[in-house]
A and B are shown apart, each in its own frame.
Chain A
């Protein structure tokens, strides 16, 4: 069964996720003996060798990392034209790099943001900026450590698709999209704050 939510339904994933291959030992970053869980914004976390060694499926819809598109654009142009290319990026990658890599990001039928740790709230600002600043209109997907308790926030920040972590139920997660009926502040999904949305009269004094 698929674990992908699109809108409010569970759907099959028609995109083939392309990842950069792991070459040799992955280095574990540590500080004061502790594993560093989060990468700094703008930190480069791939090598030229990884880009070169990535196998691009010859047919079908492919969801490729931003770094691969930037480095091997010539090979991928025709796929973009055919509507078979989507891009994913990590929360520590710089959004401006994505925006400047396309004449119009709405050429992309799908942008996916990978969140390595659910506690990484950069994904919310990235979603917001893609929708509001950069006018992205197509499917915006969250994948990685995506759990139901963040779905309501992701939705409000402009995401409309969520690949729930494999060991959790997407069916259960659907319920969390409706956690709150009338949120206070304006956000991407409803730009009006509650006081512009409904008429709020002073409550009667008890």
Chain B
């Protein structure tokens, strides 16, 4: 993975000094709350319900074992011994003290980490597929360009105060796992008919209050122009995006208002001036950065491993875990492993300091000292030998990291919600826990099969509920917490936004509602169908009818 040189290190060190002084001025009364707000937000610091929340950047989800050890130590020293991995592949601390944040940043800088632009109205952490570089369906590893874009977007002077937040995702696989269509800019890498690296550019997607899938603004962009083309897009947005109403300030609203053709015309007119300007990426710079993302020094291994095969045959618990948690790899004899941060009855995405140390050790011992965070809020060991899987499983299981539920109903994607977040209308974690308890039977979960359930505590949609096969949104009605349910959302190349099934539910009804949705699926499905396929085939009506029929009957 990318390693800082003295230039990168100087930037994070200077940032620590800058933020330390900003914090000092705020505490001394030299900056008002309103003036300090964008400064702390651009450093990932929210003022929350109980305490500030600090969001630490994990660029495109990649971490070294050393960094994870440090995060574990920071969580133990400055927080309550745990952290929350978010849907943007970042790590959030829920209980740091405002005055400790400069020291936390200084600690992070020692392991080449920071919290720059993890919030605020600026270009945020760039996200990608957690299997980048090893995915069997990969066409182009997008991480080198993602790193070049991370550097370009860091303190980009023209885009420091945009109308609203700005999220970019990159993907280089046949099956999109980075949700490029749900981002302000989505970059889909492919090889063109000259076999050159090219990019299909999506713009104006986003979830939040107004969920919209992006439109293609350019089918073919040569890779070296990606920075200048993004500058053209973001400049048009910076000048013309609405600033008078925060709910209408995202680029998607501008794209919708102008229409994609007019928006494209304006961007292309701007780009005519920017194209080939010095921010055009050189072959040498791409090569320099790409050196950090070369293939790992793999052993040459046979495609099968006898000890692994016999462990599968003799140990059903191990076999069940492998079935859900182990993924195909480009390299023979290697696999990727997902460690579940979704044990039943715990907040999804949370990891304790002890667990972080365990994962860091596993990465060091078995996966070249690196790991990834997925936007589904789990941790990935990307380069593991088949013969090591059994040991990893035993150690992960002992640490509570081997719940065999990856991709199943209880692998819930969930924001921190009303327990922590001051934006939330409703709690999300207790809903996730109640659903996990309702479905606390692994055989039954495996029978239900692949399904994604996403929960957001408010319409800002950090839990990506719109693209959950089942989406749950916390809403506020007259001061009490209710939950609106959508079905039929999906991430991927055939992404879709879910449909609301009807009036919202009270918290205690939610496990029953999900149960009834599952009942309809189990009754209606064909042999091959996943939940989402059945919803797409038969539509929302049968689900709706069953959920609300039962509800009315129960109330009689």
Q: With an 8 A cutoff between CB atoms, is A15 at the interface? A: no
Quick check: A147 and B35 within 8 Å, CB to CB?
Answer: yes
Q: With an 8 A cutoff between CB atoms, is B239 at the interface? A: yes
Q: Give residues of chain A (176-202) contacting chain B, Cβ–Cβ below 8 Å.
A: 176, 179-187, 191-196, 198, 200-202
- Among A133, A194, A203, max chain B CB count under 10 A is at A203
Q: Residue B242 contacts which of A40, A121, A156, A181 (CB distance < 8 angstroms)?
A: A40
Q: Mark A27-56, 1 if CB is under 8 A from B, else 0.
A: 001010000111111000000000000000
Quick check: B35 and A124 within 8 Å, CB to CB?
Answer: no
Quick check: B278 and A203 within 8 Å, CB to CB?
Answer: no
Quick check: B238 and A122 within 8 Å, CB to CB?
Answer: yes
Q: Which residues of B contact A157 (CB under 8 A)?
A: 157-158
Residue of B nearest to A156 (CB): B157
- Among B22, B35, B235, B239, max chain A CB count under 10 A is at B239
The answer to whether residues A37 and B244 also contact, given A125-B239, A195-B288 and a CB cut-off of 8 A, is yes
Give the distance in Å from the alpha carbon of A202 to the alpha carbon of B244 in the complex: 45
Quick check: A196 and B282 within 8 Å, CB to CB?
Answer: yes
Give the distance in Å from the alpha carbon of A103 to the alpha carbon of B154 in the complex: 38
Binds A, one of B159-167, B190-198, B335-343, B424-432: B159-167
Residue of A nearest to B9 (CB): A203
Quick check: B238 and A124 within 8 Å, CB to CB?
Answer: yes
Quick check: B244 and A185 within 8 Å, CB to CB?
Answer: no
Q: Residue A193 contacts which of B11, B161, B278 (CB distance < 8 angstroms)?
A: B278
Residue of B nearest to A190 (CB): B278
- Among B121, B155, B163, max chain A CB count under 10 A is at B155
Q: With an 8 A cutoff between CB atoms, is A71 at the interface? A: no
Q: Which residues of A contact B7 (CB under 8 A)?
A: 182, 184, 194, 198, 200
Q: With an 8 A cutoff between CB atoms, is B245 at the interface? A: yes
Quick check: B14 and A118 within 8 Å, CB to CB?
Answer: no
Give the distance in Å from the alpha carbon of A50 to the alpha carbon of B278 in the complex: 44
Quick check: B288 and A191 within 8 Å, CB to CB?
Answer: no
Quick check: B155 and A125 within 8 Å, CB to CB?
Answer: no
Q: Give residues of chain A (143-194) contacting chain B, Cβ–Cβ below 8 Å.
A: 147, 149-150, 152-157, 176, 179-187, 191-194
Quick check: B5 and A122 within 8 Å, CB to CB?
Answer: no
Give the distance in Å from the alpha carbon of A152 to the alpha carbon of B238 in the complex: 18
Give the distance in Å from the alpha carbon of A43 to the alpha carbon of B318 in the complex: 65
Quick check: B243 and A38 within 8 Å, CB to CB?
Answer: yes
Give the distance in Å from the alpha carbon of A73 to the alpha carbon of B178 in the complex: 55
Quick check: A40 and B152 within 8 Å, CB to CB?
Answer: no
Chain B interface extent, by class: 35 or more
- Measured between C-beta atoms, what is the minimum distance from A177 to chain B in Å? 12
Quick check: B152 and A184 within 8 Å, CB to CB?
Answer: yes
Q: Which residues of B contact A101 (CB under 8 A)?
A: none
Quick check: A180 and B22 within 8 Å, CB to CB?
Answer: no
Q: Which residues of A contact B288 (CB under 8 A)?
A: 195, 200-202
Q: Which residues of B contact A67 (CB under 8 A)?
A: none
The answer to whether residues A38 and B244 also contact, given A202-B291, A205-B3 and a CB cut-off of 8 A, is yes
Give the distance in Å from the alpha carbon of A194 to the alpha carbon of B459 in the complex: 39
Q: Residue A40 contacts which of B5, B15, B244, B284 (CB distance < 8 angstroms)?
A: B244
Give the distance in Å from the alpha carbon of A121 to the alpha carbon of B5 in the complex: 30
Give the distance in Å from the alpha carbon of A155 to the alpha carbon of B155 in the complex: 13
Give the distance in Å from the alpha carbon of A22 to the alpha carbon of B14 in the complex: 44
- Measured between C-beta atoms, what is the minimum distance from B160 to chain A in Å? 5
- Measured between C-beta atoms, what is the minimum distance from A89 to chain B in Å? 13
Quick check: B235 and A150 within 8 Å, CB to CB?
Answer: no
Quick check: A36 and B245 within 8 Å, CB to CB?
Answer: yes
- Among A118, A125, A128, A194, max chain B CB count under 10 A is at A125
Q: Which residues of A contact B15 (CB under 8 A)?
A: 180
Q: With an 8 A cutoff between CB atoms, is B38 at the interface? A: yes
Q: With an 8 A cutoff between CB atoms, is B273 at the interface? A: yes
Q: Which residues of A contact B4 (CB under 8 A)?
A: 203
Q: Which residues of A contact B240 (CB under 8 A)?
A: 41
Q: With an 8 A cutoff between CB atoms, is B292 at the interface? A: yes
Give the distance in Å from the alpha carbon of A153 to the alpha carbon of B160 in the complex: 7
Q: Which residues of B contact A11 (CB under 8 A)?
A: none
Q: Mark B238-253, 1 if CB is under 8 A from A, else 0.
A: 1110111100000000
Q: Which residues of B contact A194 (CB under 8 A)?
A: 7, 151
Quick check: B10 and A193 within 8 Å, CB to CB?
Answer: no
Q: Mark B242-275, 1 if CB is under 8 A from A, else 0.
A: 1111000000000000000000000000000100
Quick check: A185 and B239 within 8 Å, CB to CB?
Answer: no
Q: With an 8 A cutoff between CB atoms, is A12 at the interface? A: no
The answer to whether residues A203 and B5 also contact, given A124-B159, A124-B160, A124-B238 and a CB cut-off of 8 A, is yes
Quick check: A121 and B162 within 8 Å, CB to CB?
Answer: yes
Q: With an 8 A cutoff between CB atoms, is B156 at the interface? A: yes
Q: With an 8 A cutoff between CB atoms, is A119 at the interface? A: yes
Q: Which residues of A contact B163 (CB under 8 A)?
A: 121
Residue of A nearest to B236 (CB): A125
Quick check: A196 and B161 within 8 Å, CB to CB?
Answer: no
Q: Which residues of B contact A149 (CB under 8 A)?
A: 22, 35, 39
Q: With an 8 A cutoff between CB atoms, is B438 at the interface? A: no
Q: With an 8 A cutoff between CB atoms, is A77 at the interface? A: no
Q: Which residues of A contact B160 (CB under 8 A)?
A: 121, 124, 150, 153
Q: Which residues of B contact A182 (CB under 8 A)?
A: 7, 10-11
Give the distance in Å from the alpha carbon of A206 to the alpha carbon of B111 in the complex: 11
Q: Which residues of A contact B155 (CB under 8 A)?
A: 152-153, 180, 183-184
The list of the 7 closest CB pairs from A to B, nearest first, reads A121-B161, A156-B157, A38-B243, A153-B157, A203-B3, A195-B285, A184-B151
Q: 6 A-B pairs, CB-CB below 8 angstroms? A: A36-B245, A41-B239, A185-B152, A185-B156, A193-B278, A196-B278
- Please name 8 further chain A to chain B contacts, defined as beta carbons within 8 Å, in addition to the given A121-B158, A147-B35, sorted by A numbering: A121-B238, A122-B238, A124-B160, A180-B15, A183-B11, A184-B154, A193-B279, A205-B3
